[in-house]
Amino acid sequence: MKLSFDKKYFKNYVRESHYIHEPAPVTYQTFIIGNEKYFQIDCYKKNIDLEKNGTLEQSDQKLQFDKETAKIFINLLKKELDIL
């Protein structure tokens, strides 16, 4: 399975301005393909009813992590947010 980003392009990108997004619905799931387990985060529009008609709406953004990619993100979050 191809991950949702290419690690060779994953780097710090400095912008001039920043703002905090309003909270929006987010779900996660895990699944196995072959012998590999994945963790997926699904992000939705902030005003969406996730359980409309008893089913989840299509997400607007997906982030998928295998074990290697999760380790990269965990280490980055620890470093950037000064988490021990």
Dump pLDDT digits (tens) for 11-63. 788 888 888 888 888 889 999 999 999 999 988 877 666 667 566 677 788 88
Residues 43 and 24 sit within 8 Å (Cβ to Cβ)? yes
pLDDT band at 4 (very low <50, low <70, confident <90, very high): low
DSSP H or E segment with residue 39? strand 36-43
DSSP H or E segment with residue 70? helix 67-80
So what's the pLDDT on residue 82? 95
Its pTM stands at 0.74
